[in-house]
Amino acid sequence: MSRIVTRPSVGASMLGGSIKLPPQPCTHGPARPVTPWTGEEGTAGTVAVVGAGKMGLPLAAQFATHGWRVIAVDVNPAVVDAVNAGRSHVGEEPGLAEMVATVHAQGRLRATLDAAAAARDADVVVLIVPVMLDERHQPDYRYMDPAVDSIAPGVHAGSTVIFETTLPIGDTRGRFAPRLERASGLVAGRDFHVAFSPERLFSGAVLANLAAYPKLVGGTAPASTDRAAAFYASVLDAEVVAMSSAEAAEFSKLADTTYRDVNIGLANEFARVADLHGIDVTEVIAAANSQPYSHIHMPGIGVGGHCIPVYPHLLLARAPGLRIVETAREVNDGQTDRALGAVDSLLGGLAGASVLVLGVTYREGVKELAYSRAIPLIRDLAAAGADVAAYDPLLSPAEIEALGARPWAWGEAGGFRAVVTQTADPQFASLDPAWFPDLAVVYDGRNSLRTLALPEGVAYLGVGVQAGTRVRAGG
């Protein structure tokens, strides 16, 4: 069983730069199936995972590999059918398809649309359903509230309900535990357990992350913390950190992601300084991070995805007026405006100009559009009168068109005056400027084309990297 601790035994590296934690070896023996499951070491029960998406399905498969009987719950019949056929509907996740096929064949993974029945059959229910933002940047519970309501009729004496969805501080105790109590007629902390344990996973490396990152757990009562920690210790190889409360665990995830947003915002400010003085910001960051206490992130055209653009607002929802947090959000969201301004200036106007946007998903290699900065980039280019085309190796022409751009095929000749990169897909390094005889500007939004050979007269501008510094340090 994984070791349960009250403080992580690993922490921030003092080496500067990127931190990569090694995966922990599995030390679990074969688990003894029991009903009901009460947290006894070496035993396994039944767990329902509500939300079988990019994070939920890997969790379900992980739990099943450690002897648990797993019920994946989803509102999408196609997802349920795929899981019940032993197929993973989640792409770009190494090892997941094989894992799903194996545990399904072993009879330890099935799926259903009936959340109440799954909760009724389960000892543990794990919810991993999105909480996003509304138009006022406030928490949007349109998915989570129905998910909680859907399991509530099946919550029973002895149930353990764990929220892995990132939540504002206090929601586990103040919003969702009472909701479950009202529907079930039971009392949280006495009749059933409620806890929060944030997912800390990176698309494309979920299974590796599960084996490496400490698992944080905090309950609404000490017994709930203990029961949830015992569950994770039975299914994960990384250590489990039993925190003092659900609120401390909720805050830990918001602190983690907000730190990254603030750090990126600072890097974007440093990029502005570098541009003012003709200095390559990536050279500066590499040099600064060689000092043990520096861990500066990289600048770019903006921050996308389900996490970093969202969770600072969840923190602000319970602690308004945090000036550094608010400013970082403004800086990072403003990066697309800076890119548009630079291209507009270099072209002498965007009206009538043909512009190609490379990279539409929020990050290269991940087919996900959540808060992708390509969306406002395409919108604002079009609003300025530009003729906007776009390309992403993960998206179909129809998906590109749905975002308001005309699709471009890789290698196709075109009359583009400007190319703007929004992701750092490796394919873009093989771009041939000869395809675009009218090309005048390359705006390198991720500083990934700094070594691309450009014809004389084509202007290059990165984020803190200029034409005169682009082929030097880090090239």
Per-residue buried b or exposed e for 266-301, using 16+ beta carbons within 10 Å of the residue's own CB? bbbebbeebbeeebbbbbbbbeebeeeeebbbbbbb
Query: Which amino acid, 62?
Result: Q
Q: What is the pLDDT of residue 2?
A: 63
* 145-196 pLDDT, tens digit each: 999 999 999 999 999 999 999 999 999 999 999 999 999 999 999 999 999 9
Write out the H or E segment, with its range, that includes residue 389: strand 387-391
Q: How far apart are CA 290 and CA 259, in angstroms?
A: 20
- Do residues 362 and 395 make contact, with C-beta atoms less than 8 angstroms apart? no
- C-alpha–C-alpha distance, residues 75 and 206, integer Å: 22
- The HSE-up count of residue 23 (CA atoms within 13 Å, CB side) is 11
Are 66 and 235 spatial neighbours (Cβ–Cβ below 8 Å)? yes
Sheet of 46-50, strand order: 4-5, 240-242, 215-219, 193-196, 160-163, 124-127, 46-50, 69-73, 109-112
**What tokens were used for 134?**
């509304």
Which of helix, strand or coil describes residue 453? coil
Q: Is residue 145 within 8 Å of 178, Cβ to Cβ? A: no
| Separation between Cα atoms, residue 109 and residue 87, nearest integer Å | 11
Percent of the chain with pLDDT over 90: 91
Question: Torsions phi, psi of 9, nearest 5?
Answer: -90, -10
* Max Cα–Cα distance, the chain, nearest Å: 74
In the chain, the domains with their CATH numbers are: 4-244 (3.40.50.720), 255-332 (1.10.1040.10), 335-462 (3.40.50.720)
The reported pTM is 0.93
Structural contact between residues 360 and 395, judged by C-beta atoms closer than 8 angstroms = yes
- Would you say 33 and 67 are in contact if contact means Cβ atoms under 8 Å apart? yes
The pLDDT of residue 402 is 98
In whole angstroms, give the CA distance from residue 236 to residue 446.
Answer: 35
444 neighbors 429 (Cβ within 8 angstroms): no
DSSP 3-state assignment of 43?
strand
Helices assigned H by DSSP within 143-290: 144-151, 171, 177-184, 206-210, 222-235, 246-277, 281-288
Segment holding 376, helix H or strand E: helix 374-383
Rounded CA separation 380/218 (Å): 43
CA distances (Å), 345 to each of 342, 354, 380, 418, in order?
5, 15, 15, 12
What's the pLDDT at 3? 82
Local confidence pLDDT in tens for the 475 residues of the chain: 568 998 888 665 544 545 678 888 999 999 999 999 999 999 999 999 999 999 999 999 999 999 999 999 999 999 999 999 999 999 889 999 999 999 999 999 999 999 999 999 999 999 999 999 999 999 999 999 999 999 999 999 999 999 999 999 999 999 999 999 999 999 999 999 999 999 999 888 999 999 999 999 999 999 999 999 999 999 999 999 999 999 999 999 999 999 999 999 999 999 999 999 999 999 999 999 988 889 999 999 999 999 999 999 999 999 999 999 999 999 999 999 999 999 999 999 999 999 999 999 999 999 999 999 999 999 999 999 999 999 999 999 999 999 999 999 999 999 999 999 999 999 999 999 999 999 999 999 999 999 999 999 999 999 999 999 998 644 4
26 is catalytic: no
Tokens of 270: 């440093």
Residue-level pLDDT at 474:
47
Task: Determine which helix (DSSP H) or strand (DSSP E) holds 82, and give its type and residue range.
Answer: helix 77-84
Catalytic hit among 83, 307, 343, 350: 307
